[in-house]
Amino acid sequence: MGAFSAEKQQAIPRAEHPRPQWMRESWINLNGEWQFEIDNARSGEERGLHREGASLSQVITVPFCPESRLSGLAHTDFMRGVWYKRTITLPKHNGVTRLHFGAVDYAAKVFVNGMAVGTHKGGYSPFWVDVSEALRDGENEITVFAQDDTTDPLIPSGKQSTSFASQGCFYTRTTGIWQTVWLEQLPPVFVESVSYTTNIYDGSVTVEVALHGEGAFSCDILFDGRPMGHYEVGYATERLTFTVPLAEVHLWELGQGFLYDTVFRFGEDTVYGYFGLREVRLDGKRFLLNGRPVFQRLILDQGFYPDGIYTAPSDEALSEDIRLSMALGFNGTRLHEKVFEERYLYHADRMGYMVWGEYPDWGLDHSRSDSIYPILPEWTAVVMRDRNHPSVIGWCPRNETWDQGYRKQNDDAVAMLYEVTKQLDPTRPCIDASGNFHVKTDIFDVHDYDQDPETVKKRYDRLATEGVLEDRFAERQTYRGEAVMVSEYGGIRFAAGVNDKTLRSSWGYGDDVADTEDFIRRFRGLTDALLDNPALCGFCYTQLTDVEQEQNGLYTYERKPKFDAAVLRTIVSRKAAMEG
């Protein structure tokens, strides 16, 4: 696509393509060194920081947030506004040029050569701006302003701390750009988007494509390089839907992420992607994958890194977290209070690892009816981004919608998100508000951090024998016979190898563990109590790794093991061979 000029050659951090499911050859990664400046007064535009030639006072490494060590700054105080600037050289192009951002927290305004070209709100969803009219041959200057206010009750912030320091289950904040920035050049006629609907029973895939312009269109489907199906039409425009029978059936399964490659051609445009052939659905209280019952042995993953905060230090770090989970016997995860990088889902797709797609709704005042406005557009964008990933087996737009003082959650807003999610994607189950307070949900999930295995066992025995669920929030929500999952349990604190100061400030849901043997005993008891209950369709242990002061991970924050993986795997995977 062209080369940078007037810049020193440097290794590009996170150089891999950010969207493996939607790739063109004509793209350029803009990660690396950018000028940077903090603007707490938000006066930068008035002072002309967006204008060509205006320089910023610091340097940052994108895509890492300024709070992180990998950014080169490690500035962890509040930043109400931040600026980025970079100059690149582009060749002449007669088509469309889009500037993509994986995520910018929270509100972004983009300038090219001093011209405002687009804005976006939402710290977790991708966006692009058409910069074609603002570009010129040769040098071009890109400027980005991002503003944030973590304490605003209408800004979702997930697990970002609203105080200066991390505390409890709230951690270091993320401000500004925290995912890959890239440019993409498109011909005048191109494929805009695609969605896949697979049928495991007749071995086919139905493809819906959105097109820009008009011309000849074709789609090739391959598996391991072998042709699996073909479709073509001499003329197409706007939207096209077609079904392709597959020559061979290779189901996407746990631990075997079989994927079909796709190649779309429209005019001069060529796009490479993939899909998985699989089905998820509920059958009474059972969760089925490809028509067979599977117990969801999930682990909570909050997606924080010591050196990158929200951003993984490398692509390998994303896949390594999945490997670490699978090594302990887990077959999936709740991606908790954060929208993960799409590269994570790519690795989950190819490794055969189940994922619940969630939204970082904490920070919103759920009692307000207008809390739907900041979450609905972004959640829609997240579902649309991730709906083609076979690893995503369910959606959960809200988590623990606690009341705000005397003001109760707005039930209509919770129900609306469920309804919208099902309209966007009727193929997956949706949990309206994980843990509490359920209004309309496909799975009635509960969070249970009781540390006594016998108490936990007795609590869910009546569900198996009488169909009765004991619920501590029964005055606020009603169990109507849905499938049940204990989507948070355990959280046993085990602060291994930390200094005394860290130990005193650390916490976990379950305390008072004497040693490794005591931990294993409790972990086994709690896990067995849930595995042995035929009325449950899954569990989710809290959590994969420690996160800063929260010391209830099965690995340390640095991803070092605390326990013998083989021992935990034997506990977690017990009875797995009987499924299906």
Q: What was the pLDDT predicted at 580?
A: 61
Q: What was the pLDDT predicted at 265?
A: 98
- The tokens of 466 are what? 């009488």
What single DSSP character describes residue 366? Answer: T
**Facing residues of 430 across strands?**
395
Q: What is the pLDDT of residues 378-437, one digit of tens each?
A: 999 999 999 999 999 999 999 999 988 889 999 999 999 999 999 999 999 999 999 999
- Token pair 């709906």 is at which residue? 387
Q: What is the pLDDT of residues 113-151, one digit of tens each?
A: 999 999 999 999 999 999 999 999 999 999 999 999 888
Give the type of residue at 528.
D
Q: How confident is the model at residue 201 (pLDDT cuts 50, 70, 90)?
A: very high
Report the Cα 23 to chain-centroid distance in Å: 19
- Token pair 């073909």 is at which residue? 230
List the chain domain ranges: 27-186, 190-278, 281-578
H/E element, 28: strand 27-29
Instruction: For residue 257, count other CB atoms closer than 10 A to its CB.
Output: 19
Q: How many residues does the chain have?
A: 580
Q: What was the pLDDT predicted at 213?
A: 96
- The tokens of 57 are what? 């006072």
List the one residue out of 261, 257, 268 whose CA is nearest residue 230.
261
List the one residue out of 489, 498, 486, 515 whose CA is nearest residue 551.
498
Residues near 217 by beta carbon (within 8 Å), at least 6 away in sequence: 209, 211, 232, 233, 236, 240, 264, 265, 266
Residues near 488 by beta carbon (within 8 Å), at least 6 away in sequence: 300, 434, 435, 447, 448, 449, 540, 542
H/E element, 443: strand 443-448
Q: How far apart are CA 382 and CA 403, in angstroms?
A: 25
Question: Radius of gyration of the chain from Cα atoms?
Answer: 24
Q: What was the pLDDT predicted at 505?
A: 73
Pairing of strands 181-186, 292-293: unpaired
Q: What is the pLDDT of residues 436-480, one digit of tens each?
A: 999 999 999 999 999 999 999 999 999 999 999 999 999 999 999
Q: 3-class DSSP state for residue 55?
A: coil
Q: How far apart are CA 209 and CA 231, in angstroms?
A: 12
Q: How far apart are CA 68 and CA 311, in angstroms?
A: 9
- φ, ψ at 244 (rounded to 5°): -120, 120
H/E element, 266: strand 260-266
Q: How confident is the model at residue 4 (pLDDT cuts 50, 70, 90)?
A: very low
Whole-number average pLDDT of the chain: 94
Q: What is the pLDDT of residues 176-194, one digit of tens each?
A: 999 999 999 999 999 999 9
List the one residue out of 28, 37, 30, 36 whose CA is nearest residue 13.
30
- The tokens of 81 are what? 């506004």
- Average pLDDT, stretch 206-227? 98
Q: How far apart are CA 480 and CA 461, in angstroms?
A: 17
Pairing of strands 204-223, 260-266: antiparallel
Cβ pair 294, 279 in contact under 8 A: no
For residue 449, the number of C-alpha atoms closer than 13 Å in the C-beta half-sphere is 11
List the one residue out of 85, 134, 94, 139 whose CA is nearest residue 112.
134
Q: How far apart are CA 442 and CA 394, in angstroms?
A: 10
Q: How far apart are CA 444 and CA 415, in angstroms?
A: 14
Burial of 178 (0-12, 13-18, 19+ CB in 10 A): buried
List the one residue out of 538, 229, 580 whose CA is nearest residue 355.
538
Q: What was the pLDDT predicted at 224?
A: 97
- In our burial notation (b when 16+ CB lie closer than 10 A, e otherwise), range 447-468 reads bbbebebeebbebbbebeeeee
For residue 6, the number of C-alpha atoms closer than 13 Å in the C-beta half-sphere is 10
Q: How far apart are CA 184 and CA 12, in angstroms?
A: 17
Residues near 346 by beta carbon (within 8 Å), at least 6 away in sequence: 20, 21, 389
Give the type of residue at 156.
P
Q: What was the pLDDT predicted at 575?
A: 80
Q: How far apart are CA 296 and CA 572, in angstroms?
A: 11
Provide the CATH topology of domain 281-578: TIM Barrel (3.20.20)
- Token pair 């951002």 is at which residue? 101
- Average pLDDT, stretch 248-257? 97
Q: How far apart are CA 413 and CA 420, in angstroms?
A: 11
Q: What is the CATH number of domain 27-186?
A: 2.60.120.260
Report CA-CA distances (Å) from 367 to 41, 68, 212, 364, 380: 30, 33, 42, 9, 21
Q: Is pLDDT at 539 greater than 70 in this prediction?
A: yes
Cβ pair 155, 361 in contact under 8 A: no
Q: 3-class DSSP state for residue 354?
A: strand
Cβ pair 522, 453 in contact under 8 A: yes
Q: What is the pLDDT of residues 17-68, one digit of tens each?
A: 999 999 999 999 999 999 999 999 999 999 999 999 999 999 999 999 999 9
Torsion of CA 236, 240, 245, 246, to 10 degrees: 90
Q: Give the right CATH number for 190-278 from 3.40.50.300, 2.60.40.10, 2.60.40.3680, 2.60.120.1570.
A: 2.60.40.10
Give the type of residue at 95.
G
Q: What is the pLDDT of residues 63-112, one digit of tens each?
A: 999 999 999 999 999 999 999 999 999 877 788 999 999 999 999 999 99
